[in-house]
Chains A and B, each alone.
Chain A
Amino acid sequence: MGGGGSGRLLFTGALYQLVPYIEGTVELLRSLERAEGVSWAALRAARVASRRLDLSLLVRPDPELVEWSRRVLRSMARLLLASGAEFDYVPELSDMYSGALLRDYGMAEAFRRHAERVVRAVRSAGYEELIVVDPHTMDTVTRGYQEVLGEGLRAVNYMELVRPTARRGLAATVHDSCVYARKLGIVDRPRELLREAGVNVTEVSRSGRWTYCCGGPLEALLPSLAQAVAATRVRELAGAGDTAITMCPICYVNLRRASRSSGVPIRLLDLAEVIGGE
């Protein structure tokens, strides 16, 4: 990876990397939700988001998730390379946060400023197009930036550029990301990739355009509610089989926690691990 002049920047938006910190943060918020009143949790979310997303000061990352997120990102990079896609990886640019959470919490001004910073950095380094790896970053840098700046960044999803490098004798169900399925209309591509990789996909009734939320967007504001939503989804997915495939780090971490806390076992795998896994 790396090098220069491809015109395409791999842009992780740091979301996979942030996920290991979420687990601890949510536990922290949840205990405060009970102990000190909910307003604290709400304001905290707003303030954390408005300053900087530096959760590392609050909690220690979960080492298992750190390893998972590295593994998934490595799989994505390998898949791209194996498919002959040309791109640059410039850590200080590629791992800039997109500002997704600021937008989700309606912090319009902070989000606009952040969007400007990202766009300026990407453009001044000479990149025309991003390769993105998660739904929230994709929606944020395209539609989100468009909303506040009048012009979004051009972005292509890694799934569009790759072919599977692994073959799996696996039966699994798919947990579509709300953002992919409903905001970006990406429903068929993950299934094509999975089928090509030999995965036998069974569908739950709430899938594709009708996919059910993992609860993630509320985890910083009202973790109990987020978990109730996640637990409902885990029960549904587990009813279809013992393995579910996610394609968003927020979905992954929420469903994983819900599976543990509700005692409904399910094996969760990221799409990139499955089609290009180590």
Chain B
Amino acid sequence: MSDELLEGYARAILRALEDPDLQEALHTYVPGSEERVRRFLESRPDIVQLAREVKAIKEYSIAHMDELIDEAMRSLKSVNAVPHYAADAREARELALSLVGRGKVVVMSKSMTAEELGIREALEEAGNEVWETDLGQLLVQLEGGKPMHSIAPAIHMTVARVAQLLRDRLGLDVSPSDAPQQMVAKVREFLRSKFVSADVGISGGNALAAREGALLLVENEGNIRMVTNLPRLHIAFVGVEKLVPTMLDAFKVILVQAAFAGLYPPTYVSLIAGPSSTGDIGHRRVYGAHGPVEVHVVLVDHGRRAAAKDVVLREQLRCIRCGYCQFVCPVWGQVANNWGGSTYGGPMGVNWTAITEGVDRGAALAMLCLGCGRCDVACPVEIPISGILADLKRRFTSSL
């Protein structure tokens, strides 16, 4: 079994090496991004210091995961949000279906966790109209593929490919010679019509403060504000590893995440602690003003709590998904997330595949790691990424 897995993964890599568009995109875009982040971090020792703090916050949070889950369930209720718990992807999908129903228009903000759980596909199958609203993730949806990076999901697409997808799949009047600006304007128009008609908004979360029941989301496009604000029902899928004790901790996490993702300062931060409300008429609190009337937060396990008990995999749970390790990885730099499982790829993604899809899958993928250790140097929270990969290799070879 392991051997067949490895063969399948290796074939995907060989195909990716022969994909001229992907190769061009990666070779022109990636080295510059890596250097930009490095230069920025060299100029901001305060952020590097903050990253050390985040490491400690996340270490504490992983060690106290169960308590934080209980605390978050309580505090979410206290802010009138509805907490849920999903042990695995199936439970998460069932919850999504029961909350959304059928025949609805759903807008989603990019969430690797929702992607991992197959939320979009499940809702579509149940007869809903579902739209990704992050431009890159929308392109991935239109292509029917998987995201190629945690913050740059469509890095594998040329401008011509983007134009073709927008034309063929959305009927937009764009051509490959259009400036990106023009394409973005057309997509914006299209998505606006979806935002205003959407019944449900679905998001992920970059951090969730257990004490306050507050969810933090960070972005540049502005779509997350729309997704989480316009529809009357908002559902957030949040991996239990995203829990931190307090709101201040959560802010630290998102600032470090944005900086190491090369997006500092981030354009927007959304903080959501329960549904919208007003007390302006008769000084009585009424729920449902401009933001959603109902907010549901689904805390998702799907392999994370088991990983928290695995002395090696546990460390990967600190990951804040900045994607810096992907940008610096020589293998990722050749084939992007084609070196990966069904959702996550690259150095962190192979370890995440082991957590969410099973150790045998992660272990087969780990065999294709160079072990060069650039990822370890990059990681803001000092995850020994290549050491975890080396351990997965040991698990692979001992299963042969």
Contact = CB atoms under 8 A, between A and B. Distances in A.
Q: Answer whether A and B are interacting partners.
A: yes
Interface in A96-148: 104-109
Interface stretch (B7-15, B103-111, B112-120): B7-15
Query: Most chain-B CB neighbours within 10 Å: which of A42, A106, A178?
Result: A106
Judged by DSSP, the binding face of A is helix
Nearest to A231: B334
B6 A106 contact: no
B372 A182 contact: yes
A93 interface: no
Nearest to B18: A224
Contact of A213 (B330, B376, B394): B330
B6 to A, nearest CB: 5
Given A37-B7, A39-B3, A229-B334, A213 B374 contact: yes
A7 B158 CA distance: 61
Contacts of B4: 39
Judged by DSSP, the binding face of B is helix
Query: Most chain-B CB neighbours within 10 Å: which of A43, A217, A225, A236?
Result: A225
A38 B374 contact: no
Nearest to B27: A232
Given A106-B393, A215-B330, A229-B330, A183 B373 contact: yes
A228 B398 CA distance: 29
Contacts of A182: 372-374, 376-377
Contact of B10 (A106, A216, A222): A222
A228 B17 contact: yes
A66 interface: no
A258 to B, nearest CB: 12
A166 interface: no
A217 B31 CA distance: 21
Interface stretch (B49-57, B144-152, B209-217, B363-371): B363-371
Nearest to B11: A38
Nearest to B6: A42
Interface string A32-64: 010001110111001000000000000000000
A151 to B, nearest CB: 20
Interface string A216-239: 111001101100110011001000
Interface of B: 3-4, 6-7, 10-11, 13-14, 17, 27, 31, 34-35, 38, 328, 330-331, 333-335, 366-368, 370-374, 376-377, 390, 392-398, 400
17 contacts: A38-B10, A39-B10, A41-B10, A42-B367, A105-B397, A106-B390, A106-B392, A108-B394, A108-B398, A178-B373, A182-B372, A206-B34, A210-B374, A215-B330, A222-B14, A224-B17, A233-B330
Given A39-B10, A106-B390, A182-B373, 14 more contacts: A38-B7, A38-B10, A39-B4, A43-B3, A46-B397, A106-B367, A210-B377, A213-B330, A213-B374, A224-B17, A225-B17, A225-B331, A232-B27, A233-B330
Q: Nearest 3 A-B pairs (CB), nearest first? A: A106-B393, A213-B372, A38-B10
